[in-house]
Chain A
Amino acid sequence: MTIAAGGRITAEGAAAAPETAIAIREVSKAFPGGTVALDRVSLDIRANEFFTLLGPSGCGKTTLLRLIGGFEEASGGRIELHGQPIEGLPPHRRPVNTVFQSYALFPHLSVADNIGFALEMQGVARAERERRIADMLALVRLTGMEGRRPNQLSGGQQQRVALARALAAGPKVLLLDEPLSALDLKLRKEMQIELKRLQRETGITFVFVTHDQEEALTMSDRIAVMESGKVLQVGTPHEIYERPARRFVAGFIGETNLLTATGTGGRTLRLGGGEVAVEATVPAGTSVTIASRPERLRLAPPGEGLAGLVEDVVYFGTDTNYHVALEGGGRVAVRVQNRGQAAGRPLAGSRVGVVAEPGAWQVLLD
């Protein structure tokens, strides 16, 4: 199997009948000693999509990746790869390849031999192998580095070799285990763009593991947010950010205002002295958690919206965050874009109103 140069655009593929690349059904994993890493996880990862498993360390995302890669065996459940069950297949028989967190490049082999390792294992003849190694080096922009040893490369270059090595094997699915975590910020941003480009050009399904929410939002077609061995929410970056379904998701991704409000039986909730509009109907008297993003709230003169007192003003270049203590209890952050004039802005200690855009407040499940 070869890599289709300039392959399909993922969005088009998804718009047609989306084929399932990996079907994960009720998969559990318990380690000896009783730790439950995964608890009946079910997921569908579509062909040609950039799918991210996002969660804090210890949430089971890496374990799930290792189950797909064949490095661990599930305690229960089923994993299918393009319709084929893969239980019991050792890693070297699975049409998936992994980019390891620490790259795991072979220190005793040159860049070219690292990249050609899988081809050699597949018995590809030398001339053909060299041609494909050259293609891979060009793909990850490392032409001319073939003779170097991994320890003669920078972190970013090692990362590219690790990618090329995994892609050279011609996988149907590429697994990436926090591949950018060892890079500095600038390089990480570059590699994010690079990874996305590679995924588009090769048309291979990428399953990417990260604890970095920004990384997940920038690169992914879809994200699964995980916590304590469970998948909490699956959706596009937009859905995950704008419509977090659970308290954990709202809190983990981006900055979030969380408040407790009481249902009225309609699409408004009572909150201290004021009211907020939501898109769900909450039974009267029921206490629920609601969330909103700071940039979807704005400040208004006192009297409008929820009444509060500005406690703190934090300026950070593009925006300013106003931390407002609400009269009915609770605090919210309101983000205001800076457009030059500081005049007329409320100072700490001013009374203000906090007004939400329509749809800004989400009712969360705990």
Chain B
Amino acid sequence: MRSAARTRLAQALQLAPAILVLGLFMLGPLLLMGYVSFLEKGSYGGVKWGVHSVEAYVKFLFERDFDDSLILNPDYLRIFARSFGLAVATTVLALLIGFPVALYMAMQPERRRNLLVFLVTIPFWTNLLVRNYAWILLLRNGGLVDGVLQGAGVTEQPLGILYTNTAVAIGLVYSFLPFMVLPIYTSLEKLDFRLVEAAYDLGAGKALALRRVVIPLAKPGIAAGCILVFIPCLGAYVTPELLGGGKALLIGNLIQSQFGVARNWPFGAALAFFLLSVVLLAMTVYALRFKQRPEHGA
């Protein structure tokens, strides 16, 4: 009995630092945010402590008419839809680019594979902000991409893609590509390539073997990669701000502006909570779909 109690104490001590950090720096602020979203906004920013209101959540969908009746206001939904669309597009593009890369990496000899994994992680060594500024230099009119295309006679007009959604999508795909490549690579690396040979042997050409054997077996990695790209994209702030020029509002920028210029903390908090619930929903779907299945392999 005593030794069992001691084991439990030892386990509790082992976990204590992590629980403390998560409690203080994650759960605490989160609860505070939740509380703030149900308060009334202060006149010059901040909140009126102790004055409760659901106004922030109402504001998300409705606006008040002159006679104080509620009318549906789709503006914020539209911003969510735009962010959602951009995140989906980024995820699809990252998947289309990332999957072949991961497949190529997984088929290399082991030493080369480790080198390639290392190369994929190199961008993390530089600050995201710096990398986004680099993209501004690349994408601006008269920038490197524009210069090369015009110099080669491919285009005659300046490209004009900086400060558009295209530039944002390029920046997001670039930023999050490693998050797509690495999980897919991990699942493909475990794949027994004799299964591919077996598929060929049984009459499948390359495309069919890919579709019927490789992709189904890489599914957990594909799903993990999509989640890892989709979720941060949904709330991305830096890239839309720099490469989008802040012209088309996205969720991340909207939330930021509520705490900044708009001085509406409760609304900002409510928006953040709405985003969080979408993310949690996606994670739950992923967990139910992929985590409970028995692991592959004989």
Contacts and interface: CB of A to CB of B under 8 A. Distances in A.
Report if A and B associate in a common complex.
yes
Given A121-B208, A151-B298, A104 B203 contact: no
A91 B297 contact: no
A315 interface: no
Contacts of A90: 200, 205
A97 B200 CA distance: 10
Given A100-B194, A102-B194, A121 B202 contact: yes
16 contacts: A91-B200, A98-B197, A100-B198, A103-B298, A104-B192, A106-B195, A106-B199, A107-B297, A108-B217, A121-B203, A121-B204, A149-B294, A151-B294, A151-B298, A169-B202, A169-B203
A31 interface: no
A104 B294 contact: no
Given A104-B195, A108-B217, A98 B294 contact: no
Interface string B196-229: 0111111111001000110011000000000000
Given A108-B217, A158-B298, 12 more contacts: A71-B197, A71-B201, A90-B205, A102-B194, A104-B195, A105-B298, A107-B296, A108-B216, A117-B199, A150-B298, A166-B201, A166-B202
Nearest to A102: B194
Interface of B: 192, 194-195, 197-205, 208, 212-213, 216-217, 294, 296-298
B194 A91 contact: no
B201 A97 contact: yes
Contacts of A108: 216-217, 296
B194 to A, nearest CB: 4
B202 A102 contact: no
A160 interface: no
Interface string A87-105: 0001110000110101111
B192 A98 contact: no
Interface string A40-84: 000000000000000000000000000001110000000000000
A122 interface: yes
Contact of B213 (A103, A106, A118, A150): A106
A108 B212 CA distance: 10
Nearest to A118: B202
A172 interface: no
A70 to B, nearest CB: 8
A152 B195 CA distance: 18
- Which of the listed residues B201, B208, B212, B213 has the most CB atoms from chain A within 10 Å of its own CB? B201
A91 B201 contact: yes
A165 interface: yes
Contacts of B297: 107, 151
Contact of B201 (A69, A102, A107, A151): A69
Contact of B205 (A92, A105, A150): A92
B202 A107 contact: no
A92 B201 contact: yes
Contacts of B204: 92, 117, 121
Contacts of B202: 92, 97, 117-118, 121, 165-166, 169
A172 B205 CA distance: 20
Nearest to A94: B201
B194 A104 contact: yes
Nearest to B195: A104
Contact of A98 (B198, B205, B217, B296): B198
- Most chain B beta carbons < 10 A, residue from A70, A91, A103: A91
Nearest to B217: A108
Contact of A100 (B197, B205, B212): B197
A90 B202 CA distance: 11
List 5 tightest A-B contacts by C-beta distance, closest first. A121-B203, A118-B202, A104-B198, A91-B200, A104-B194
Contacts of B217: 107-108
Nearest to B219: A108
Contacts of A100: 194, 197-198
